[in-house]
Amino acid sequence: MTESVAREQSDLPERIRAALASRKRVPLAPGPVPAAVLVPLFLEGGEYHILFTKRTEHLNHHRGEISFPGGVRHPDDRGPRETALRETWEEVGIRPGDVDVLGELDDYFSIHNYLVTPVVGIFPPHYPLKVNPDEIERIITVPLTHLLRPDIFRIEDWNWKGRTHPVYFFTYEGDEIWGLTAAILKQFLDLTFRR
């Protein structure tokens, strides 16, 4: 790793925090079921990675899909951040107090009638993850540098409810990150790296 890449990696948390703080987040009107996900970053081998989960096949929604940890807001959650952190703790065992929250991305509507708020955070390296096998089949960790490669990204036009919508795809070692997760990921990468 070159010195400039190492310096860029060490500056990344503050760069992300500044990028998210310097913009006006776009919330969506309430109506659908409120939910939140965590975009979890961590340092491994001197490089930042993003943690994704592959959902089990027996879930009602998003079965078998690659997603960020997260889920539906509970009545006692004080907001999206608390929801994202609680769900991450339940799914992969990262304690809420071990996540440095850097900010939030724009809200998204999912086709399953959820209003999803993405929360971006960093957790410590070499973290002892504890996967909930009822919800998660496996963990997938992807280096940020891989996600920035143009050759692993594509857009397809899909029809839904009589309208054409762009659907994003990122590929990593035989896995495809697509749909809502890919849309959230694309916004995060665009904001952080000004692509």
- Over residues 58-69, the pLDDT tens digits come to 655 555 689 999
Alpha-carbon radius of gyration of the chain: 16
Of 7-16, 86-95, 135-144, 166-175, the least confident? 7-16
Confidence tier at 165 by pLDDT (50, 70, 90): confident
φ, ψ for residue 172, nearest 5 deg: -145, 115
Give the SS3 label for residue 189.
Answer: helix
Residue type, 165: H
pLDDT of residue 180: 95
Encoded tokens for 40: 């979890």
Average pLDDT over residues 143-157: 95
Say what the pTM is: 0.91
Percent helix / strand / coil, the chain, rounded to 5: 30, 35, 35
pLDDT of residue 1: 46
Average pLDDT over residues 37-57: 94
- Pairwise CA distance, residues 81 & 141, whole Å: 22
pLDDT of residue 55: 87
Confidence tier at 8 by pLDDT (50, 70, 90): low
pLDDT of residue 182: 97
Confidence tier at 151 by pLDDT (50, 70, 90): very high
pLDDT of residue 15: 94
pLDDT (tens digit, 9 = 90+) per residue, 93-149?
Answer: 999 999 999 999 999 998 888 999 999 999 999 999 999 998 899 999 999 999 999
